[in-house]
Structure 1
Amino acid sequence: MKPALAALSLLLPLASSAGGKGAVPPPPVAAKKPVVDTYHGVKVEDPYQWLEKGDDPEVRKWVEGQMAHTRAVLDKLPSRGAIRARLTALLSHESPAHSVDSWRGGVLFALKFQPPRPQPLLVVLTSEDPSSARVLLDPAELDPSGRTTLDFYVPSLDGKKVAVSLSKDGTESGDVTVYDVATGKPLSGEVVPRVNGGTAGGGLTWNADGTGFFYTRYPRGEERPPEDRDFYQQVYFHKLGTPTEKDTYELGRDAPRIANYQLQTSEDGAYVLALLGNGDGGEYALHLRGPQGTWTRVSRFEDKLVAASFGRDGALYVLSRKDAPRGKVLRIPLATPSLDKATVVIPEGQASIESFRPTATRLYVKEQLGGPNQLRMVGLDGKELGVVPTAPVSSVGSVVPLSGDDVLLSSTSYTEPFTVYRYAAKDGKLAKTSLGRTSPLDTRNVQVERVLCSSKDGTQVPLNLLHARGTKLDGNNPTLLTGYGGFNIAVSPGFSVLDLAFIEQGGVVAIANLRGGSEFGEAWHANGSLTKKQNVFDDFHACAKLLVEKKWTKPERLAIEGGSNGGLLMGAALTQHPELYRTVLAHVGIYDMLRVELTPNGQFNTTEYGSVKDPEQFQTLYGYSPLHHVKDGVKYPSVLFTSGENDPRVDPFHSRKMVARLQAATGSRRPVLLRTNNLGHGIGTPLAEEIEESVDVFAFLFNELGMKYRPVSGKVAVPASK
């Protein structure tokens, strides 16, 4: 769901390669079958509604024909061999990365990314030395195809057991298995089905002595009709050694249909926290289970508590946006868990509080600075303790409390790869560990600039520009503009070998911080959601215009790219301003905003996008829905759509309908291609398949922008421009 090339949903094509010779078969023409839907008195034609039935033989035949056409086009593109060699070397760079998530029982738990392994490994480390890592679970050993992925893992409080959710083929439908940490073996019979899902997600948290865990449970069997089985998530408790059918209900019977839960246990195991989300729009209610086993509702949706974490001092710390859109941190005594007893520890400031982690005597607070972020330290008494000295224009990832006030933290930037540091609170020193990655490229000549673009309503929108030092502003640079703008997700600096591979070929990468994200707090998010969603598209358009006006590029050399909600952005951009772009890379996107909520995950999205059931929200959705704004005869840019047949988050019918409509309407001779696969939204895609799609995307992108690929090798890659 990330917007940059590094985070494409890189997936396996359904059709085999057609080879580089022979005629290109034309794409099959989608029949128009008249259907008219009426919304609040407005009649809307939908001639491609039949393409929504993914298992219909006629639809499958159409998709297969599209894939045959796509493969024939892509396989004929020049420089595929050289592109494949370079991207394989970069994406298979064997420097491992250890993404540490928790410290339990004196050991660190981490995911180890180790190319060319198809999936990350679950490991435990006895120190910050990578040589101390011991593999607990390798998904590829369970499934040699590489298509089984680890959704999440949670160690018990003593670190002796770990519960792991595993799913297959991109479905995100994960069953939980419990492993013994000492032996790495699964406990016999300890499998709990469907804890994780693609709609409400999933998670669990252990009890005090590791004899069981609280977990998110979807309806089973005939408890609810089939159409409800991806909804009504509740919290149950599983006691080890007992059948899961005997698991006991804990919480959630009165929760909304689109409920989702985040669970957490206090370090002493006495308290359990359940943060109830109302769909995907950012509304939360907090529940607390005390030592007596009873649940107390601490907050309602309207109280605007959006995150919480247990302190080591007998208190619960919560992030509130009530009368504080940039956030404030409150302290609630666990003995009297009520908002009436809350005191302010950190008042609202200039930066937006994104998250925080308590340690023995302080809070480590991650703050948003408009895209980049920083890690500020505040005592539990509210005293300012300074900022952890991370690099400018970088992002902080996980923060893992150790003993005392020491922490491990990860950081990355546009030019520095994933790095893990240890911060020693006593002396204030930040020390680099060996748990991060090295770079396969030399980035010393990559320059990063941040500029502001003036949107339609005057809002100043940050734009990050990545290019080789000395790049000329002559209007002729091939440029790739990306964005996301939604779900309160900030686009923060990240290291992308694919972006850098584009830059080493003379390209410019532009990354926009659009409204709808969390870059400047809840007001920034709210002004890009629901009936104000058009602001996101206006922000993106302003960024594209600036690139042309300042002569970074010109429309003939400007490509745009986005995935998921960023795919919706691509659909809106190409229908609202088709003259501004040469080519569009649209991945697992949403394009029919009038029927998105008919899908399971689409119903969770209504708290972010709105619903056609509401007259005002319908008018907004209809006003920008990409599918409904394709016009006959317009000379549209070339487009490469990607989708996943098992995608639980965005139904692939969106891409099918959009491709059919664009192919019928476009007045240009530029290709409109559909590249689909039998995986999901992109989460857990095997490495080999990431490489396959990267090669297709790069070959298409280079061909459409008129770039001649220059073969390179080694660690060089970004010379200064001349």
Structure 2
Amino acid sequence: MSISWRKDPIVEDFFGTPVADPYRWLEDPNSPDTQAFVKAQNERTFEYLRSLPTRDKFRDRLKELWNFPRMSAPRRAGERYVFERNDGLQNQAVLYVQDTLDSEPRVLLDPNALSEDGTVELSGRSFSKDGKWMAWSSSRSGSDRQEIRVRNVETGEDGPDLIRWCKFTNCAWTEDGKGFYYKRFPVPGTVAPEDENHFAQVYWHELGTPQEQDVLIYERPDEKEWGFDPLISDDGRYLLLYVTHGTDSRNRLYYRAIDPAQPGLPAAEAPFTEWLDDFDGAYTYIGNHGSVFYLHTTCQADRGRIIAIDLTNPDKSNWREVVPETEGVLDAVRMVHDHLVAVYLQDAHHEAKVWTLDGRLVDTVELPGIGSITELNGRNRDREAFLAFTSFLYPPTVLRYDVASQSTDVWFRPDVNFKTDDYVTKQVFYTSKDGTRVPMFITHRKDLKLDGSHPALLTGYGGFNISRTPAYAIPPLALLEQGGVYALANLRGGGEYGEAWHRAGMFENKQNVFDDFIAAGEWLVDNGYTSQRKLAITGGSNGGLLVAACMLQRPDLYGAVVCRVPVIDMLRYHLFTVGRYWTTEYGNAAENPEHFKFMIRYSPLHNVQEGASYPPVLIMTADTDDRVVPAHPYKFTATLQEKAASRDQVWLRVEENAGHGHGKPVSKSIEEEADVLAFLFDQLGE
């Protein structure tokens, strides 16, 4: 095919600076021109990928590596236990319930039965306190849109309830199990298209009634970008509202007492107390004893601490510090058996400690090694907590911790078809451009010779206060078996060292993230793990922005790039779906001239150089991604294929009936990752 596309004479003025946008027509996914573009790109890309001799071998090996049982950490639903399990190659994990830890589990909900191609995901579930009812949400083709239904846990049958127009919502059941609170957005067509992801509202739903009868509990039309997440306190006496602005980690926290006789009172009749309303930190409810609430907060503690506040005397001067800020970052806390089970990040891996409610350290939970706690479940009425643990060479394992006896046992650990003992993970620290010390995990064969001859895959994220910690990812295992090296850099912008680390990689500091990643690649080359020709980089979403920017800034450093569902157009990203939420992380170049100055300097779409030679790049997206819309990779592909001297090494892969990544069927993941591995080994060569 000819790698050239229609260019429109669109030029937009940004505070006196003209910026061309010739491929804006690709922002319309339904236009015939865009569909022709996608069809042509996919034909070219899949013809290339399917021709690679290693592709089928990688696909077959990935099927073997993926084929092992995986289980989530159990959580209690009334007196029962519920968990998800995937037997290996099932497209979606199945939800099970069992009466006791020793009884036989039974299927509560199988998402694989909801669609023929496995593209319907169980995206959320919430149980009434007695465990009789489950509100469950589903999403289709990777969309963020959710539909909520209610299932009888005993019979496994759904009632008439159907709730629509939801995204990122949870269901907060009242004590009596007669209904729940939830968040929703306006019905499409009732507001301007750009506002369909704004104006969040909280509703009360009474079990068995149509959604049209749901009662509006809270809204803030004067703050259309605020979000609300309802939560019921453990004793059932209070309705809490987490009030958020975009993706900012800071939040507000409101509450009101629940009238058991009238739980559906609107705010006008039962107003909320705007309790923690200064937007001065993150506040997360842990539990309460009557009017005394225990909270995990970053207020006056970048790395987190635990405080207690009495609602009858809530002034900040009366707050009680239960567990002070420590060197490690407080990542998660649960109140179990009147103890605080707390997970900490220490140099980007997890530790777990147990404190009393008066702040005495009583135990450190024994973990299998250096790794990550991906789940922590437990209730104060119980004596046990469940933790899911994993690492690069340690498959997801469920631990049961008995708080009363301070003992830990393995509840579930799978057998895997991979010789983990032949490999090793190490953590190193390297120096970034400005002298900052940055950690990085490296996994490889134990007998690896540091002679620069090995293919290496470097990944990272660096944004939104998200910490990248050790995890058992299947595709890198196939790379390791071929003598490769897998590296994860813990960049600024993440949460690995608290809020200060996060803020060092956002807004005008975003270049720090790219500098950290570039320095990681240089360290791997300088220390003999790989060479520039054999170093590949990969990242998705904000990580796709990362690798795109670094590819453009240091094209000489990489032998190949895999750029997944990337944020690319930093001047217009906020105009699409939930992009407006990210202005609290990136900035807004269209409305703030100072933001424009630093965003235009790294925006990948606007920094492709005419005639430049870039490393081979596989750009990946999905046609129904409604989080990072595919216009980003479409416009990036067209720009690279127009300007780059290496235009014939720019490949766009568009997955059909898939979204941003969550809920992707295993069958699609295997095909996709086989393509990626075949591409990498074709480009990195011998």
Q: Please classify the TM superposition score into its range, dividing by the shorter chain length.
A: over 0.9
Q: Which residue in 2 is equivalent to 1:518?
A: 495
The structural deviation recorded for 1:342 is 2.3
1:416 CA drift (Å): 0.8
Contact 1:636/1:670 (<8 A) preserved: no
Residues paired across the two proteins, number: 673
Q: Please tell me the residue identity of whatever aligns with 1:702.
A: F
Task: Indicate whether 1:420 and 2:398 are aligned.
Answer: yes
Change (3 A) 1:266 1:669: closer
Q: Give the letter aligned to residue 643 of structure 1.
A: T
What SS class does the counterpart of residue 136 from structure 2 fall into? strand
* Residue in 2 that maps onto 1:322: 299
Quick one: which of 674, 680, 686 aligns to 1:701? Answer: 680
Note the 1:76-225 alignment, pairs <5 A.
76-91=51-66, 93=67, 95-100=68-73, 102-129=75-102, 132-187=104-159, 189-195=160-166, 197=167, 201-220=168-187, 223-225=190-192
Query: Cα distance, 1:266 vs. partner?
Result: 2.0
User: Which amino acid in 2 is paired with 1:210?
Assistant: G
Q: Residue 585 of structure 1 contacts residue 639 of structure 1 at CA under 8 Å; is this kept in 2? A: yes
Q: Would the aligned equivalents of 1:103 and 1:109 in 2 still touch at CA under 8 Å?
A: yes
Task: Give the TM-score, by structure 2 length.
Answer: 0.95
Q: 2:483 matched to which residue of 1?
A: 506
Are the counterparts in 2 of residues 644 and 681 from structure 1 also a CA contact under 8 Å? yes
Cα distance in 2 for residues equivalent to 1:254 and 1:271: 24
List per-residue Cα deviations over 1:211-243 (Å, max 9, x = no partner): 000000111265433332221111110011222
> Contact (CA 8 Å) 1:583, 1:704: kept in 2 or not?
yes
Equivalent residue, structure 1, for 2:558: 581
Q: Which residue of 1 aligns with 2:246?
A: 279
Contact 1:421 1:433 in 2 (8 A): yes
| Shift in Å, 1:555 | 0.7
The one-letter amino acid paired with 1:266 is S
> Could you list the per-position Cα deviations for residues 161-218 of structure 1 after superposition, in whole angstroms to 9, with x for gaps in the alignment?
000001111122111000000000001x2111122x2xxx211110111100000011
How far did 1:668 drift?
3.1
Alpha carbons 1:283, 1:301 under 8 Å: kept: no
Among candidates 223, 229, 241, match of residue 256 of structure 1: 223
Contact kept, 8 Å, 1:312 with 1:358, in 2: the verdict is no
Match of 2:368 in 1: 391
Counterpart of 2:613 (choices 635, 647, 652) is 635
Is residue 176–residue 194 contact of structure 1 (8 Å, CA) maintained in 2?
Answer: no
Between 1 and 2, higher relative CO (CA 8 Å, sep ≥ 6) is seen in 1
Q: Which residue number in structure 1 is paired with residue 263 of structure 2?
A: none
SS in 1 for 2:543: helix
1:35 offset after TM fit, Å?
1.3
SS in 1 for 2:344: strand
Q: What is the CA–CA distance in structure 2 between the aligned matches of 1:325 and 1:73, rounded to whole Å?
A: 48
Q: Percent identity?
A: 36
- For 1:235 and 1:428, the matched residues in 2 are separated by 40
Contact 1:642 1:655 in 2 (8 A): yes
1:404–1:168 distance in 2 versus 1, CA, 3 Å: closer
CA distance in 1, matches of 2:278, 2:596: 24
**Residue among 614, 625, 639 paired with 1:661:** 639
Give the gaps of 5 or more residues in structure 1: 1-25, 708-722
2:262 aligned residue:
none
> Does the CA-based 8 Å contact 2:444-2:480 persist in structure 1?
yes
Cα distance in 1 for residues equivalent to 2:290 and 2:357? 9
Partner of 2:670: 691
* Contact residue 70 and residue 88 of structure 2 kept, 8 A: no
Give the AA of the match of 1:496. A
Q: Deviations over 1:412-456 (max 9, x none)?
A: 11111111111122332210013x432221100211111111111
Q: CA deviation at 1:28?
A: 4.0
CA displacement at 1:338 relative to structure 2: 5.5
Partner Cα distance (1:404, 1:315) in 2:
20
* Higher mean displacement: 576-585 or 672-681: 672-681
Which stretch of structure 1 is more off in the superposition, 660-669 or 220-229? 220-229
C-alpha distance in 2, partners of 1:301/1:506?
53
Q: Which residue of 1 aligns with 2:546?
A: 569
The CA distance in 1 between the partners of 2:74 and 2:629, in whole Å, is 31
SS at structure 1 position matched to 2:632: helix
From 280, 296, 310, the counterpart of 2:287: 310
Question: What's the CA shift for 1:337?
Answer: 5.3
**TM-score normalised per structure 1:** 0.90
Instruction: State the partner residue of 1:6.
Output: none
Match of 1:7 in 2: none
Residue 232 of structure 2 is matched in structure 1 by: 265
Distance in 1, Cα, partners of 2:347 & 2:73: 26
Task: Please state how far the C-alpha of 1:43 moved relative to its aligned partner.
Answer: 1.1
Out of 359, 362, 366, which is 2:339 matched to? 362
| RMSD after superposition | 1.7
Counterparts in 2 of 1:120 and 1:87: CA distance versus 1, 3 Å: same
CA distance in 2, matches of 1:391, 1:572: 37
Question: Which segment drifts farther, 145-154 or 285-294?
Answer: 285-294
Residue 312 (structure 2) pairs with residue 297 (structure 1): no
In structure 2, the CA distance between the partners of 1:673 and 1:135, relative to structure 1 (3 Å rule), is same
- Of residues 369, 384, 389 in structure 2, which corresponds to 1:406? 384
> 1:238 aligns to what SS in structure 2?
strand
Aligned residue number for residue 267 of structure 2: none
